[in-house]
Structure 1
Amino acid sequence: MVVVASSGWGLERIIDHVGLITVLAGIVVGYFVWAAVDQWVLHRGRKGPVHWPILGATVEVLRNYDHLNDWCVPYFLRDGLTFPCGLADVKYTFTADPANVEHILKTSFDNYPKGELFHKTFEIFFGDGIFNVDGELWKRQRRLASHEFSSTKLRDFSSVVYRDYSLRMASILSDASATQRVLDMQDLFLRFTMDSIFKVTFGYEIGTLKPELPDIPFADAFALTNEIASSRFMNPFWKLQRVLNVGSEATIAKSAKVVDDFIYDVMKARNAENLQNSGQRDLFTRFKLLNEGGKELTDKTLRDTLLNFLIAGRDSSGLTMSWFIYMMTLHPHIEQKLFEELRDLDTENVVNGDMSSKELPQTGGDDYFHERVERFSELLTFDALLNLQYLHACILETLRLYPVVPLNPKSVAADDTLPDGTEVKKGEFVMYAAYAMGRMPSLWGPDATEFKPERWLVDGGVQPESPFKFVTFQAGPRICIGKDSAMLQLRIVLATLCRFFTFQVVPGIDVKYRQMSTLLLAHPGLPVTVAKRSLD
């Protein structure tokens, strides 16, 4: 008699397992047959990435997530300027069509709000600030902010602050050039924007740009909170993690508290001042003295409003400066042409009756160099900056190829049809792709991928493009309220640095972006060596 071993693998159990394996294999085969029929019969010729039943394009999106901005470019080139991208739980429509962008941002503005998903995702950081709300709350904040940002007093105050911090930057670069110390320019620029914009916004000195480049808990927590909040879009479990207080949600809870505690402490200290007679021109003072409907703004409203300006200003300018310098290192002939424009300003202007830095005694030495930089900074008046047309063109070309927000989602409030005939349904999302738009030959010509500032120049002056084609600053009712302030900051610091220094990326470094809501350079940032230019 044959006895089956006591391992438990009797004949009946083996048959059961074979049957289970057969069923599972059948399910797998059936799924792929279903997928083939769906892809090649029911939706043959569908634009965009391959869509699997139930999963949609989720697998491909996750597989290419680290370069998602570039991933969508070939689909636009192959399929036209709009294509669908369905994920497991929601459908996105990607577009690089200026007509569609105008429809979304202007013509049917109310049908494409930020949406509740965006608000909940960033509420821990943005609160109910202008970049995180819709409807009447957004209109109220927009109205208040528009009044303040149009003030020439704020512009003049900002100019002084930006020039001051650009001189601090120049001092750090000068020291680094003497020792051949490698600097991460992205880190340096983000310190510059954090310090200068915090000063303009809250009237308070943070100190991240001190010569020793200290780690400041608030600045570190600020960056970490922004990073984790942005990553929530690709983390389907973040709400569960928040409830359990584990993982990245435990981290963001702590970092957000550091941010809030610091902001409220600064506001408390400023509130103790006699703001009415302080002579301060920062945004906190200006907003604090507002009486809307006979009531002062609450601390929570001030926190949300002003922190949103800080969030937008830090990354938008800091990252643009980083990509700008990187472009200069790749295109030395453009860097030289820009230098010549800046040198001409240095040699031909007069400040308050004193001759320009070109005519200072040729004493040499560090003190002389710093005095030359300071004298040049004095030349950077608002009107003088407007005349630096090649600098302006270089900044715009950087923003065209490296927009700070490369992909911008909007929710669909009601069924609609885009100008190109694409239908979108309530509850879906549209995603206009600023990064891809800058690389479309149909929009910018066959040299679209080239860094070419001259494309912006007509008869020696900058020729603006449609804001729905060059969508870096958004357009329509939500057009960037701080655009002019950002351009002022960019012009001042880049003019100062490019007049007196050259930059070289450390050999062997592969400069690329990190996929986030903003176009952050991936680790190790932008490590460079710096050299002083000749003062002649």
Structure 2
Amino acid sequence: MSASQKSVVDFQDLLQRFTFDNICMVAYGYDPAYLLPSFPEAKFANAFEEVVRISSDRFNSLAPFIWKLKRILNVGSEKKLRVCATQIRDMAKEMIKQKKERSNYNKRSSDDLLSRFLISSDEQQNMHDEEFIIDIVISFILAGRDTTSAALTWFIWLISKNPEVEKEILKETTNTTTSSLTYDEVKDMPYTHASLCESMRLYPPVPVDTKEAMQDDILPDGTFAKKGTRISYHPYAMGRVEDIWGKDWQAFRPERWLKKDVKTGNWKFVPKDPFVYPVFQAGPRVCLGKDMAFLQMKKVVAGVLPRFRFVPVVDEGEEPVLIAYLTIKVKGGLMVRIEERTKSY
């Protein structure tokens, strides 16, 4: 509809609605229907957004005693955080209640995460209580919603500025535009996969992450980390280091992730060391949802890009303003005009 009317939409908001609906289906077996053409008010998603924003402000605060005082007094942003967190948990509890009331929630055919946890809870005589299940599923939604939408938002921006890359992706995805893409079809999309990796190198969904030493430890370079020490690493900065990525580190170049197969002449994806490219973390802490995230992103790209062209509505030379909460976003959203494609590749 937007394409036929040539209207302008906030692509970032569109993606957040899509990923929220999608992850709620996976996690709860529940469709919030936030992607309806009417774009209904997303109360559940908005509560998530507020919690993420306020929590991020905590981490970035130069005077943490201020938010701690607000928390004690239950005023301002801390009061808002408490209200939104309560809303999220109440909604989650209601979903669990509804799931339990359905006679078939504990069937082996249940596919959503919540049903599987409830099955596990029953089999282990309620070893996992309701609060624990709520924590797990909320974490799953938080991880799956914001990161994927952030990655795809910046991806669309970058390919709009690099038509040759867009053309190569279209060549690869033209024949895989069905809504039921299989894993094997997605697996054989090395150029698209490389383009997503390159986009996340420049704009990692989680731009900075922090770990805390649970006990005294020594880092690989010999640095001593005392128990309780917080250590941050910066994927956004690491993706822009000339010594690692070369003098052309500013360029959006998927080919840096690819090499030609000598026998077939086709592209072959070559992954980087995860400790050099920690977008999905590394080692024992590597993201459990990495493969699912790539599957989801590539299905979106292959299903949408061959049919539509996304043209950012910005002034000549204007760049999106980056803001970083727990995830990276475009300040004010990414406004685009959606156009139907007429050329097949």
Aligned residue runs from structure 1 range 196-275, under 5 A: 196-235=22-61, 236=64, 237-274=66-103, 275=105
What amino acid does structure 2 have at the position aligned with 1:244?
Answer: L
1:120-145 CA-to-partner distances (Å, cap 9, x unmatched) read: xxxxxxxxxxxxxxxxxxxxxxxxxx
1:221 is displaced (CA, Å) by: 0.9
1:319 to 2:150 alignment? yes
1:312-332 CA-to-partner distances (Å, cap 9, x unmatched) read: 000111100101101111111
Alignment CA distance shift 1:258-1:416 (3 Å): closer
**What's the counterpart of residue 493 of structure 1?**
300
**What's the counterpart of residue 232 of structure 2?**
431
1:179 to 2:8 alignment? no
Q: Structure 1-normalised TM-score?
A: 0.59
The structure in which a higher percent of residues are helix is 1
SS at match of 2:109: coil
What amino acid does structure 2 have at the position aligned with 1:204?
Answer: Y
What amino acid does structure 2 have at the position aligned with 1:231?
Answer: D
Matched residues in 1 for 2:220 and 2:131: separation? 40
Do 2:52 and 2:325's aligned partners in 1 also have CA atoms closer than 8 Å? Answer: no
1:415 is displaced (CA, Å) by: 5.3
SS at match of 2:194: helix
1:531 to 2:343 alignment? no
Q: Which has the larger radius of gyration?
A: 1
SS at match of 1:290: helix
What amino acid does structure 2 have at the position aligned with 1:486?
Answer: A
**What's the counterpart of residue 263 of structure 2?**
none
Aligned residue runs from structure 1 range 123-522, under 5 A: 175-235=1-61, 236=64, 237-274=66-103, 275-277=105-107, 279-291=109-121, 294-296=124-126, 297-343=128-174, 345-346=175-176, 376-378=178-180, 380-413=181-214, 416-459=217-260, 460-508=267-315, 510-522=319-331
Do 2:170 and 2:305's aligned partners in 1 also have CA atoms closer than 8 Å? Answer: yes
Do 1:320 and 1:404's aligned partners in 2 also have CA atoms closer than 8 Å? Answer: yes
SS at match of 1:391: helix
Matched residues in 1 for 2:95 and 2:228: separation? 40
What amino acid does structure 2 have at the position aligned with 1:269?
Answer: Q
1:277 is displaced (CA, Å) by: 3.5
Do 1:339 and 1:498's aligned partners in 2 also have CA atoms closer than 8 Å? Answer: yes
What amino acid does structure 1 have at the position aligned with 2:106?
Answer: Q
The root-mean-square deviation of aligned C-alpha atoms, in Å, is: 1.8
Matched residues in 1 for 2:11 and 2:73: separation? 38
1:507 is displaced (CA, Å) by: 2.2
SS at match of 2:147: helix
Matched residues in 1 for 2:51 and 2:218: separation? 37
1:140-161 CA-to-partner distances (Å, cap 9, x unmatched) read: xxxxxxxxxxxxxxxxxxxxxx
* Unpaired segments ≥5 residues, structure 1: 1-174, 347-372
SS at match of 1:472: helix
Do 1:434 and 1:470's aligned partners in 2 also have CA atoms closer than 8 Å? Answer: yes
1:416 is displaced (CA, Å) by: 5.0
SS at match of 2:306: helix
Matched residues in 2 for 1:394 and 1:257: separation? 39
SS at match of 1:240: helix
Do 1:217 and 1:258's aligned partners in 2 also have CA atoms closer than 8 Å? Answer: no
Do 1:199 and 1:282's aligned partners in 2 also have CA atoms closer than 8 Å? Answer: yes
**What's the counterpart of residue 40 of structure 1?**
none
1:479-531 CA-to-partner distances (Å, cap 9, x unmatched) read: 11111111111111111111111111112253021132211221x21111111
Matched residues in 2 for 1:510 and 1:464: separation? 29
Alignment CA distance shift 1:261-1:294 (3 Å): closer
Do 2:207 and 2:324's aligned partners in 1 also have CA atoms closer than 8 Å? Answer: no
Do 1:438 and 1:449's aligned partners in 2 also have CA atoms closer than 8 Å? Answer: no
* Unpaired segments ≥5 residues, structure 2: 261-266
Q: How many residues are paired up? A: 331
Matched residues in 2 for 1:448 and 1:287: separation? 44
1:287 is displaced (CA, Å) by: 1.4
Matched residues in 2 for 1:478 and 1:418: separation? 15
Q: Percent identity?
A: 36
1:422 is displaced (CA, Å) by: 4.3
1:426 is displaced (CA, Å) by: 4.6
Do 1:500 and 1:535's aligned partners in 2 also have CA atoms closer than 8 Å? Answer: no
Do 2:160 and 2:311's aligned partners in 1 also have CA atoms closer than 8 Å? Answer: yes
1:407-447 CA-to-partner distances (Å, cap 9, x unmatched) read: 11122455555444545445433211111111112112222
Q: Structure 2-normalised TM-score?
A: 0.91
What amino acid does structure 1 have at the position aligned with 2:179?
Answer: S
Task: Spell out structure 1 runs of 4+ moving beyond 6 A.
Answer: none
